[in-house]
Amino acid sequence: MKSNAIRTSLDVPRELHARLHEAAARKGCSARKLILAGIERAVEEAKGSRPRRRLSLDPPLIRPAGRHIRVTEENVYDLIELP
C-alpha cells in the first residue's frame, strides 16, 4: 500500500460483495480498483452539484417591508438609543 493511502474497513452485504467480485472479474480488474473508481466517480459528481460561487443578495431575495434606513459611520449613534 502507498504511504499516502489510508486503510479503511467497510461492511458490505454478502450479495453485493459477490456481485462486486463478479463485476471486477468481467472487467479484468481487482475489486479494489473497481471500488476506488466508484468512489472517485461519486466524489466528482458531488463536487459538480455544489454552487460555484456564493449566492448574491444584491438585489435582495426578499424586499424589505418597512422604511429604508441608510446607516453610515457618522449617523449610527444617532439611530441607536443608548441608556
Asked if the peptide bond before residue 51 counts as cis, ω within 30 degrees of 0, the response is no
Report the pLDDT averaged over residues 3-7. 88
* Nearest Cα residue to 17 out of 35, 42, 36: 35
Report the pLDDT averaged over residues 60-83. 79
Whole-model pTM above 0.95?
no
Q: What is the pLDDT of residue 58?
A: 77
| 33, pLDDT greater than 70 | yes
Where residue 69 falls among pLDDT bands split at 50, 70, 90?
confident
Q: What are the residue boundaries of the structural domains of the chain, listed by start?
A: 10-51
Per-position DSSP letters for 3-43, written without gaps between them: TT---------HHHHHHHHHHHHHHTS-HHHHHHHHHHHHH
Q: What is the pLDDT of residue 51?
A: 63
Q: Please, what is the average pLDDT of the chain?
A: 85
| 56, pLDDT greater than 70 | yes
